[in-house]
């Protein structure tokens, strides 16, 4: 607590450093409030708020203005108690220190610039520091919140503006996450996950959880994290694919899950991570794999509609630091045959293999062509060549060179991969062996189809990639809370 000459009169015990438990009696009579909820209707209310000291400005020895931040909301707190001790204490607070403020909500004569709550302020009666931040922070929230455009404009004007690079941000992620844009990004991400769950639940899906420790690769190839499992070789799951199929065969018919996915790829691109959050679904089919496309269509149009309608403030906050154009999408999602996509690229002068996979450049070019022709940046590309799909993908009955599969693209980048699965155990084993997968390591998976298996299909999408592409952020590390790429294992 404060001491000496500054602790006198009505300021006695009303400010200083204190622990949470010591403040309970001192703050009796003040109701807890959220900064974001402080509006003119709350005028004259006696409130208590806790947040970070974003900025402090002293005016003389007896007045100080403290900007308190809670999440992405900020409010001005006016410290002007008799004696000046509280104002001097406020002026000595280090930025980002966690403080408790109690006082009366009042209406400023003019809107407060630089805060989200511009029409109110708090006349401070009590002020205590709960946790002091170090005086020299490795990065400042103000610098981390600055847009590339702001830095460029300042440089053009001959002014100095600190620019915090991506690695510096991630090294100090706890501070970086406090910017308004990051607060918004991960609130949007939460909504994406919520809509994913809600829409699929409304469509009769059941939420499940699958193991992340496997005895063998789930996708084929060498991009797995290998480990010792009680003396047995094992790896981290590249996908929940095999087990979500087994759940459908187990009688659930429609399942979904949200969980971590691990890929040991030495990929340093803007859209790959070694660990990401997978949004996966699998469902029994009645007649055709297009039923999976129907679910994807309904799910993602509902998701985009929800974000645009209910996350306007968050999208605006992201827009201020990372400008982007709203995503163009149709009420009914465009479905384009793979051969038609190849034809569009060839007519545009792009050299592509009709039976090969599309590289990143071709995908982006096709995205531009589709946008210009159909006025959408969200579309499905169906019926991929079998050779470029996983071993468990069902070949097309009319031409086995092609598969009952699809990918979905946003802004020219692949975001969803889906298909009908092979439910015939002999065909499944043959296709696995042809891809170099040791059939013995997936024997329990193949055997699951020997006991009666309905035709089924599904899809998977990375949560981080959905948010990155919807918000046009350009780098998936911006949408991973604590990203894991080939070089990063901390914080």
DSSP string, 380-414: EEE--BGGGS-TTBPBPSS-TTBBSEEEEEETTEE
Give tens-digit pLDDT for 286-313.
999 999 999 999 999 999 999 999 999 9
Query: What pLDDT does 19 receive?
Result: 81
- pLDDT category of residue 158 using cuts at 50, 70 and 90: confident
Torsion sign (Cα): 402, 405, 411, 414: negative
Burial of 251 (0-12, 13-18, 19+ CB in 10 A): exposed
**Using CA atoms, how far apart are residues 453 and 455, in angstroms rounded to an integer?**
7
Above 60 in pLDDT, residue 58? yes
68 three-state secondary structure: strand
Name the catalytic one among 6, 265, 291, 413: 265
398 pLDDT above the threshold of 60: yes
Range in 152-156, 195-199, 254-258, 353-357 with the lowest mean pLDDT: 152-156
- Could you give the CA distance from residue 315 to residue 313 in angstroms, rounded to a whole number? 6
pLDDT for 5 equals 44
**What is the enclosing helix (H) or strand (E) of 427?**
helix 425-434
- 125, 465, 477, 480: the catalytic one is 465
Residue 265 or 197, more confident: 197
pTM, entire model: 0.92
Task: Please give the mean pLDDT across all residues of the chain.
Answer: 93
Q: Is the pLDDT of residue 4 over 80?
A: no
Residue 202 pLDDT > 80: yes
Residue 10: pLDDT above 70? no
pLDDT score of 442? 85
263 flagged as catalytic: yes
Higher-pLDDT residue of 483, 241: 483
Strands 31-32 and 63-70: unpaired
Q: Count CB-CB contacts under 10 A for residue 39.
A: 11
Q: How many helices (H) and strands (E) does the chain have?
A: 15, 18
Asked if 267 and 223 touch (Cβ cutoff 8 Å), the reply is no
- What pLDDT is stored for residue 221 in this prediction? 52
Catalytic (active site) residue 271: yes
**485 contacts 476 by C-beta, under 8 angstroms:** no
Among 263, 389, 411, 456, the active-site one is 263
Active site residue 488: no
Q: Is 282 helix (H, G, I), strand (E, B) or coil?
A: strand
In the residue annotation, 149 being an active-site residue is answered as no
**Given this model, what pLDDT does residue 162 score?**
86
Catalytic residue among 217, 239, 403, 417: 417
Judged against a pLDDT cut of 60, whether residue 166 lies above it is answered with: yes
Give one DSSP letter per residue of 232-246, joined into a string: EEEEE-S-SHHHHHH
Q: 237-278, pLDDT tens digit by residue?
A: 999 988 999 999 999 999 999 999 999 988 788 889 999 999
pLDDT digits (tens, 9 = 90+) for 424-468: 999 999 999 998 889 988 888 899 899 999 999 999 999 999 999
Res. 475: pLDDT tops 90? yes
Task: Tell me if 403 sits within 8 A of 419, measured CB to CB.
Answer: yes
Structure tokens at 351: 């050299």
Q: Which of 414, 423, 464, 477 is catalytic?
A: 414
Q: Taking 80 as the threshold, does the pLDDT of residue 1 lie above it? A: no
Question: Residue 431 has what pLDDT?
Answer: 93
Residue-wise pLDDT for 68-97, tens only, equals: 999 999 999 999 987 889 999 999 999 999
- Cα–Cα distance for residue pair 261/464, rounded to 1 Å: 12
Q: How far apart are CA 315 and CA 185, in angstroms?
A: 8
Pseudo-torsion of CA 98, 103, 105, 107, nearest 10°?
-100
Sign of the Cα torsion 417, 421, 425, 428 reads negative
Task: Pick the catalytic residue from 132, 272, 320, 488.
Answer: 272
Which of 407, 409, 433 minimizes the C-alpha distance to 422?
433
pLDDT of 351: 95
* pLDDT tens for each residue of 308-336: 999 999 999 999 999 999 999 999 999 99
The alpha carbon of residue 450 and the mean position of all alpha carbons in its chain are separated, in whole angstroms, by 39
Q: What is the pLDDT of residue 6?
A: 44
The radius of gyration of the chain from alpha carbons, rounded to an integer in Å, stands at: 28
Q: Does residue 366 carry a pLDDT above 80?
A: yes
Supply the pLDDT for residue 445. 84
- Give the CA angle between residues 180, 185, 190 to the nearest 5°: 125
State residue 242's pLDDT score. 86
pLDDT at 219: 56
Model confidence at 220, pLDDT cuts 50, 70, 90, reads: low
Q: Give catalytic status of residue 62 as yes or no.
A: no
Could you give phi then psi for residue 166, rounded to 5 degrees? -60, -45
383 tagged catalytic: no
* pLDDT of the residue at 12: 65
Helix 338-347 with 360-374: angle, nearest 10 deg? 90
pLDDT at 3 over 70: no
Given pLDDT bands bounded at 50, 70 and 90, which one contains residue 61? confident
Of the residues 69, 128, 169, 271, only one is catalytic, namely 271
Q: How confident is the model at residue 216 (pLDDT cuts 50, 70, 90)?
A: low
396-to-288, 401, 408, 416 alpha-carbon distances in Å: 10, 7, 19, 20
User: Is 414 a catalytic site residue?
Assistant: yes
Contacts of 198 by beta carbon, 8 Å cutoff, 6+ apart:
none
């Amino acid at each position: 607590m404060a001491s000496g000459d500054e602790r006198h009169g009505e300021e006695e015990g009303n400010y200083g450093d204190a622990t949470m438990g010591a403040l309970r009696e001192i703050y009796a009579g003040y109701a807890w409030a959220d900064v974001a909820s402080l509006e003119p209707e709350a005028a004259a209310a006696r409130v208590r708020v806790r947040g970070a000291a974003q900025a402090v400005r002293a005016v003389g020895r007896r007045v100080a203005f403290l900007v308190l931040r809670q999440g992405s909301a900020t409010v001005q707190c006016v410290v002007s108690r008799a004696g000046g001790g509280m104002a001097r204490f406020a002026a000595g607070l280090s930025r980002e220190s966690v403080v408790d403020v109690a006082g009366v909500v009042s209406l400023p004569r003019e809107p407060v610039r630089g805060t989200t709550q511009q029409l109110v302020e708090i006349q401070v009666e009590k002020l205590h520091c709960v946790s002091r931040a170090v005086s020299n922070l490795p990065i400042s929230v103000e610098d981390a919140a600055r847009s590339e455009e702001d830095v460029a404009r300042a440089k053009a004007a001959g002014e100095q503006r600190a620019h915090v690079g991506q690695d510096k941000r991630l090294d100090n992620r706890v501070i970086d996450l406090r910017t308004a844009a990051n607060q918004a990004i991960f609130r949007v991400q939460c909504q994406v996950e919520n809509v994913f769950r809600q829409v699929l639940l409304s469509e009769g899906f059941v939420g499940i959880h699958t193991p992340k420790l496997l005895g063998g690769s789930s996708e084929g190839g060498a991009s797995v994290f290998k480990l010792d499992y009680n003396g047995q070789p094992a790896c981290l799951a590249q996908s929940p694919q095999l087990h979500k199929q087994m759940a459908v065969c187990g009688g659930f018919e429609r399942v979904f899950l949200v969980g971590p996915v691990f890929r040991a790829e030495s990929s340093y691109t803007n859209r790959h991570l070694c660990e990401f959050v997978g949004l996966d679904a699998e469902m029994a089919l009645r007649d055709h794999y297009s039923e999976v496309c129907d679910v994807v269509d309904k799910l993602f149009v509902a998701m985009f509609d929800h974000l645009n309608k209910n996350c306007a403030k968050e999208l605006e906050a992201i827009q201020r630091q990372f400008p982007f154009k709203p995503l163009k999408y149709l009420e009914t999602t465009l479905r384009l045959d793979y051969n038609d996509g190849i034809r569009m690229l060839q007519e545009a002068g792009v050299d592509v293999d009709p039976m090969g996979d599309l590289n990143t450049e071709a995908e982006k070019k096709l995205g531009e062509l589709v946008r210009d022709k159909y006025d959408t940046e969200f579309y499905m590309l169906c019926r991929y060549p079998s050779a470029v799909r996983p071993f468990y993908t069902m070949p097309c009955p009319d031409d086995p060179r092609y598969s009952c599969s699809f990918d979905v693209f946003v802004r020219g980048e692949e975001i969803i991969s889906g298909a009908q699965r092979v439910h015939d155990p002999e065909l499944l084993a043959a296709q696995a062996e042809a891809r170099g997968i040791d059939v013995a390591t997936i024997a329990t998976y193949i055997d699951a189809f020997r006991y009666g298996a309905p035709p089924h299909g599904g899809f998977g999408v990375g949560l981080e990639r959905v948010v990155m592409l919807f918000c046009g952020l350009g780098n998936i590390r911006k949408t991973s809370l604590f990203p894991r790429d080939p070089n990063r294992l901390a914080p």
